[in-house]
Amino acid sequence: MKSKNVILIGFMGVGKTEIGKKLAEKLGLAYIDTDDIIESRAGKTINNIFTEEGEAVFRDIESGILDELAGKSGQVVSTGGGMILRPENVKKMKGMGPLVLLWASPEVIHERVKNAGTRPLLNVPDPMKKIDEILEFRTPIYKSVADLEVDTSRLSPEEACNKIVEFLGKGK
């Protein structure tokens, strides 16, 4: 397991950060969050990158970070919800290790993200509608690239983590 990476993909609010940290601890791997790297490199929040420079600039930075991570091993990589939008990103992630899709119902996602204010794509008058729209477009992509899917709607982070560990054990 040491030499491998585990890549967490999925929509905003599905639990990638919390589950990813637990998983990294359990597996003895480093925890990496692509959004955190982007914010510390840019010296500004994701909200500010979106408003000052636009989504396309954010996506370029995001792909650049993935390039760097692709050469490394021993990481649990929690990716931003839109990382799967570029096919070249998917190709790179596929070469890094298993892609674990974390999932949650639109209602649960809304409940988890509604007070945070940190997701520029959901800073709109009707976030629930926006969640549905983005999910409609992205769901086929998420599902087609995932090696494992874990619905976190009714699971604790610990339970979700155990499902991933079990899956990884089977793949050995």
- Using DSSP's 3-state secondary structure scheme, residue 11 falls into coil
CA distance 113 to 10: 14
CA distance 83 to 39: 15
Residue from 120, 147, 149, 167 in contact with ligand S3P (CB under 6 A):
120
Choice between 35 and 96, CB closer to ligand S3P: 35
- Which token pair is 91? 């190709």
Choice between 126 and 166, CB closer to ligand S3P: 126
- Which token pair is 157? 């982070």
Choice between 5 and 79, CB closer to ligand S3P: 79
Q: Which residues of 48-72 are buried (b: 16+ CB within 10 A; e: fewer)?
A: ebbeeeeeeebbebbbebbeebbee
Stretches 22-30, 93-101, 116-124, 158-166: which one binds ligand S3P (CB under 6 A)?
116-124
Asked whether position 20 contacts ligand S3P by CB under 6 A, the answer is no
Residue from 15, 27, 35, 104 in contact with ligand S3P (CB under 6 A):
35
Size of interface with ligand S3P, in residues (CB under 6 A): 10
| Interface characters, 39-58, with ligand S3P (x: CB under 6 A) | -------x------------
Q: Which residues 6+ apart lie within 8 Å of 10 measured at CB? A: 16, 81, 101, 102, 103, 104, 142
Choice between 1 and 47, CB closer to ligand S3P: 47
Q: Quote the least distance from Cβ 131 to ligand S3P, whole Å.
A: 10
Return the bridge partners of 30, or none. Answer: 75
Reference 36, options 61, 11, 70; nearest CA is 61
| Interface characters, 66-95, with ligand S3P (x: CB under 6 A) | --------------xxx-------------
Interface contacts to ligand S3P, rule CB under 6 A = 12, 16, 35, 46, 80-82, 119-121
